Amino acid sequence: MPSEIPNPRWPWVAIGLSAAVAITLAMVSPSDTVQGDLVRIMYVHVPAAWLAYLAFAVTLVCSIGYLFTKNLTWDRLAASSAEIGVYFTGLAIVLGMIWARPTWGVWWTWDARLTLTAIMFFVYIGYLALRKTTDEPRARANRAAVLGIVGAVQIPLVHFSVVWWRTLHQPASILRPDGPAIQDTMMLWALLAGVLAFSVIYLSLMAKRVELHRLNDTLHVAELAADRPVAGASVSSPDLDEGTADV
C-alpha cells in the first residue's frame, strides 16, 4: 500500500492555465448595457451551475455502472463526482444570491429555479451523509448507488424549471433551440471559456478525489485483514492445580 497520496502536477497546471484564460476573457469582455459590470458574475455563476449538472449526471451514470458490475471503481467515481457537485451547487446558489440582490431587490425568493436548486443541493448532501453510515465498502456502495440514481431526477427539474413554470430566473443563455441569447461575441466566448475552465477543474479534482477514495478503501481492507488480538485473549484462566497442592 502506498505510504502517501501521489501528487502529480498536471491537475494544478491545467487548473491554473484554464482559469487564467477564463479570468482574462471575463475581465476584457464588455459590460452589459443594463446591468453594467454586475454581469461579470455570470462568468462564474453559469459555469458553476453547469458543473453541478455535469457532476450529478456522472454520479448517476457511475451509480448505474456499479449496480451492474459491482466494481468499486464506479462507486469511487460516483462519490467523487457528488462531492464536487455539492461544492459547486453551493457556489452557484451563493453567487446567484449576490446577483439577485441588486437585480431583483432581494437575496432570496421562492422562485421555482432557486427552490429546486436548493432541494437538489440538500438531496446530494443527503447522499454524502448516507455514505457515512457504514465503513463497509460494498454496503456503502449499494445504498449510495440507489440514491445516486433517484436523486438525478433533480437535474431536468432544475434545468427546465424556467420553461415549465413562471419564474423570475432568466431562461438558458446558451443551450436554446434558436441559438445563444448572448449576441456579443466577446461575452459569449468569455462565458464558454468559463464553462471550459470549470470543466477542466472538475476533471482535475476528480483525479484527486478518486485516488483518495481508492487509498481509503485500501486502508480499510488492510485494517480488517491485519492480525489483531481478540478481545479477552490476554485474560488467562486460574490454575486450579496450584490451589489444591497445599491441601
Tell me the pLDDT tens digit for each residue of 17-38: 777 877 777 777 877 777 777 8
pLDDT on residue 42: 86
pLDDT on residue 241: 59
> What pTM, to 2 d.p., does this model score?
0.79
pLDDT less than 70: residues of the chain: 1-8, 171-183, 226-247
pLDDT on residue 218: 79
For 175-195, letters b (16+ CB in 10 Å) and e give eeeeeeebeeeebbebbbbbb
Domain range summary for the chain, segments of one domain joined by + = 41-175+183-221
Give the tens place of pLDDT for each residue, 46-84: 899 989 999 999 999 999 999 999 999 999 999 999 999
**C-beta separation of 147 from 126 below 8 A:** yes
